[in-house]
Structure 1
């Protein structure tokens, strides 16, 4: 009976989930058309503020609707005190493709590091360019732009794993986040993303219906000051994340349920 109810519930909730995702796609497309018109008209600083606020409000609407119709349960209240802070790096674990959408929705000052190919994406590119998100095609340019953005009062959302988690409790960290912190003299605020769902984890196709509702719970960890030895700090940060994710025990079953895909060891931290 339990399995039958689970199957029936998923069957009933699948159409609303796809409608919700279609709505997100259409909303992203509409905003990108607006951003395409605004980009040449607005000065860089104003465009950055408008672009980031527009993306944040759009994603916030998506999460609000998803929660209201029972598709998702979101607890991101811990991010509220961070909204107005300047020059802050937010480093989080990366279980699913939805993580960046969740963080950016609640942090309207923040920028993301994006794959260069996404800057040409019809659903993301124009909005990302208006918001002055950071490309990852050149490691040197990526670090330089991230440092400049932080010094100008922005925030940076970054995933030290560089790609979605494929090994429990998390992938090995790349040194980009601690190098950026060192050069910008910016603190690193750690955030833990707990979820019970494998949906849009590495190897999970968007059309495959997950157990519903999808649950996300965010919690703040410690804040780390930048250190002169960025490599040593990367190792320390990774140990800290491993200890505090393993301590909760959350996400293990979800990760095991998702097909494993090997991470790209050469890929910089990406959206």
Structure 2
């Protein structure tokens, strides 16, 4: 990027981030007031719906001003499915925003300290997002949410990708699938941007526009052997990402993987 253009291009990006921060702050204040007043089911639906719409507004604004190019339309086919686990690779900090914006039924698994964050905490609690400070409680809450018709967004790498194309998968996903008897839908996030990858600071301007393309992969059925299914899932992600060609178009259909015996 031309150094003379960088300051000018930075202004719309900073404005977008500021807009997102203001929306988050205002909604979290409202969510803090609503949390003790609303029944759990109503709070969950309202909280998740508002978060999804707020993130969609952010992505639409980013696309309109030319800062980002985003194709996440493949997720629309999943939005009304109940009891579905969505797993994706995790190249940047923006990945959860991409998925949740299109999936208003979904919950995220969040670090416990984010539940205390002024921009995220109250809204996440109202939406009944799931804390990860206790593995046993995390699994229990995730299973309950899926059985109640929710969706679960999980990044099996556990953190943003450090060793491309993929970090080793952490356990838990396939155990949740087994206990909830929920299918696992794979989603691939294709991007070349370094923005908000590991080590990239929030305010540093990346090459623009930032491009994200999402595509659906295979769907895996739960297995009694959750460890074997986890290995199969990781192998599938690695093979698919290594074979991906840069100019290939996103695939909006899903196929089913063989069931483990």
**If the length of structure 2 is used for normalisation, what is the TM-score?**
0.93
1:51 paired to 2:35: no
Equivalent position of 2:138 in the other structure: 142
Cα distance in 1 for residues equivalent to 2:22 and 2:208: 23
Match of 2:152 among 156, 160, 174: 156
Equivalent position of 1:10 in the other structure: 6
Tell me by how many angstroms 1:194 deviates. 0.4
Equivalent position of 1:122 in the other structure: 118
Equivalent position of 2:23 in the other structure: 27
Tell me by how many angstroms 1:249 deviates. 5.0
Equivalent position of 2:204 in the other structure: 208
Cα distance in 1 for residues equivalent to 2:226 and 2:200: 33
Equivalent position of 1:111 in the other structure: 107
Cα distance in 1 for residues equivalent to 2:15 and 2:73: 26
What are the Cα deviations for residues 163-202 of structure 1, in whole angstroms up to 9, with x where unaligned? 0000011000011111100110000000000011010001
1:242 paired to 2:234: no
Tell me by how many angstroms 1:37 deviates. 1.0
Cα distance in 2 for residues equivalent to 1:198 and 1:170: 15
Instruction: Give the total of aligned pairs.
Output: 246
Match of 1:76 among 69, 72, 91: 72
Cα distance in 2 for residues equivalent to 1:11 and 1:129: 37
Tell me by how many angstroms 1:10 deviates. 3.1
Tell me by how many angstroms 1:78 deviates. 0.4
Task: Return 5+ residue gaps in structure 1 as ranges.
Answer: 251-271
**Runs (4+) off by over 4 Å:** none
What are the Cα deviations for residues 191-247 of structure 1, in whole angstroms up to 9, with x where unaligned? 000011010001111011100110000000000000111111111000000011111
Equivalent position of 1:257 in the other structure: none
* C-alpha contact (below 8 Å) 1:10/1:211 kept by paired residues: no
Cα distance in 1 for residues equivalent to 2:76 and 2:101: 11
What secondary structure sits across from 1:180 in the alignment? helix
Higher helix share: 1
Tell me by how many angstroms 1:12 deviates. 2.0
* C-alpha contact (below 8 Å) 1:88/1:188 kept by paired residues: yes
Task: Return 5+ residue gaps in structure 2 as ranges.
Answer: 247-261
Match of 1:61 among 51, 57, 63: 57
